[in-house]
Amino acid sequence: MSNLKRFFKDTIIYGFAAVLPRAINVILVKLHTHSLSSDKYAENTIFFVYAAYLNALLTFGMETAFFRFFTKEKEKGRVISTSFISILFVTLIFLGVGFYYSQAISDYFGFAHVLYLQILILVLFFDTLVVIPFAYLRVNNQPVKFAAIKILNICIYAFLNYYFLILLPKSQLAGGTESGFISELYREHSLVVFIFIANLIASLITFLILIPIILKFRFEFDKALLKKMLAYGLPILITSLAFVTNENLDKILLQKYLGKEQMGIYAACYKLGVFMVLFTMAFRLGAEPFFFNKAQDSNAKETYARIMTWFTAIGTVFLLIIVLFIDLFASLLLGNEVYFQGLSIVPIILFADLFLGISYNLAIWYKLTDKTRYGMVFSLIAAAITIIFNILFIPVIGYMASAWATLLAYGLITILSYLYGKKYYPIPYENKKMILYIGVSFVLSVLSFKLFRNNYIISVVFLFAYSLLIYFNEKKEIQNIFKK
């Protein structure tokens, strides 16, 4: 089996485990926007913004370090146990401090109720403890179990969302006689609290399922190994925090400058870019172990270059599909027309996510050469652009400033990663093809959104023509991939 064919196979297997849960999450967007007003949807968004920041802090780059050192070290068991024990130690401190100072922290960050913060702390506690067990499943090639647990988690979360947001309110309105904790919550809080509770229950069940795997770990702690892993992983932590800033700080600033309603509209429309995120996530899950395992192959760089070309080609197809049929996707996923006014951000966010995916591919040079500090610096520069651009231009052009800031940030990371990669780990990327795909998809996106919006005949023609362009450029490779 060719390297490229094997890569696609791995990406599909592991990507499915990430894509299906996120796809179900996308469907839940309509339930949330239907059930919550835009200001309450903003509360839901802020909850997960804080979750993203804290998740990056609590894992402190250890997942990526785990993959790197698992392929380098002979004592695999020590890598597993050292990674898990270090995360467990940090997470237990977080749990204790978080609950002890929960009221003060809740007041400082403006949570509507201290209960919301306490639920967030518990969700993060359980989600963080399963990071290494999930990585263990991936590195030991157990995709079925990995996928099954991930899918079970989102199914529980989705069912509880339906129960709490649809069935429970109907029962209360019909004069139901439910009593106890749930009914008390329903009377004293908005429906948004039940989204948080659903997340907590799903996270707890996932943790319980993974306990047998955790018990298999040999609890051996290697201080010397931990120092090496931290030296590798801490720059990844800074990179992750900068990424979370690029993805989420705009929501915080929009709420500050424009209010919860405008932020809620922006956040809901932002999620239409999730299809590109799903594709990028599937790519990343397949690529990370693949790139590390193939690093010693004589043709590794040529393989990386072909994967980059294919990522760009397929990514631009996903992007075009969303832009060409944007109003259809909005009707299906957002439902409430109050959110449609923010659709103009979607094409910009899609191109930003495309460049983010390209930067993931480019990042292989500093991960393989153990120069992760470069990724940290690039991400910090991008985060600075995000902060400055949002602060300066949100008061002027509203949430469009946040969309353009995201594109500028990810575009800059891509350029910097490419230029420095040429110096330290040159890969023969097919630049002309990639520029062609990005350029043509950009032109078709502008034409469709500005001149032919809702003209689905033209949309189909554009998509067919672009697909033909890719097919004729990659015809030989396509035939090899599908050859038995």
**Which of 73-77, 92-96, 346-350, 479-483 is predicted least confidently?**
479-483
Burial label, 423 (beta-carbon count in 10 A; 0-12, 13-18, 19+): exposed
> What is the pLDDT, as a whole number, of residue 173?
47
Q: What is the pTM of this model?
A: 0.73
Pure H helices in 334-474: 346-362, 364-368, 372-397, 400-424, 431-450, 456-473
**Among the listed residues 374, 379, 381, 384, the one whose alpha carbon sits nearest the alpha carbon of residue 420:** 374
Q: What residues does each domain of the chain span?
A: 3-481
Count H helices and E strands in the chain, helices first: 23, 0
**Which of 39-53, 375-389, 468-482 is predicted least confidently?**
39-53
Structure-block tokens of residue 283: 């790519």
Residue type, 88: L
Q: Let me know: does 320 contact 244? Beta carbons within 8 Å.
A: no
> What is the pLDDT, as a whole number, of residue 64?
82
| Averaged pLDDT of the chain | 83
Which residue did the predictor score with more confidence, 16 or 421? 421
How many other C-beta atoms can be found within 10 angstroms of the C-beta atom of residue 454? 11
Convert the pLDDT of each residue in 13-72 to its tens digit. 666 666 677 677 767 776 777 666 666 666 667 777 788 788 888 988 888 888 888 877
pLDDT band per the 50, 70, 90 thresholds, residue 174: very low
Residue type, 224: A
Which residue did the predictor score with more confidence, 272 or 118? 118
Structure-block tokens of residue 230: 């931290």
**Among the listed residues 200, 55, 46, 48, the one whose alpha carbon sits nearest the alpha carbon of residue 110:** 46
The yes-or-no verdict on residue 181 having pLDDT over 50 is yes
Gap between the Cα atoms of 427 and 457, Å rounded = 40
76-97 mean pLDDT? 92
Structure-block tokens of residue 161: 């969302």
pLDDT band per the 50, 70, 90 thresholds, residue 262: confident
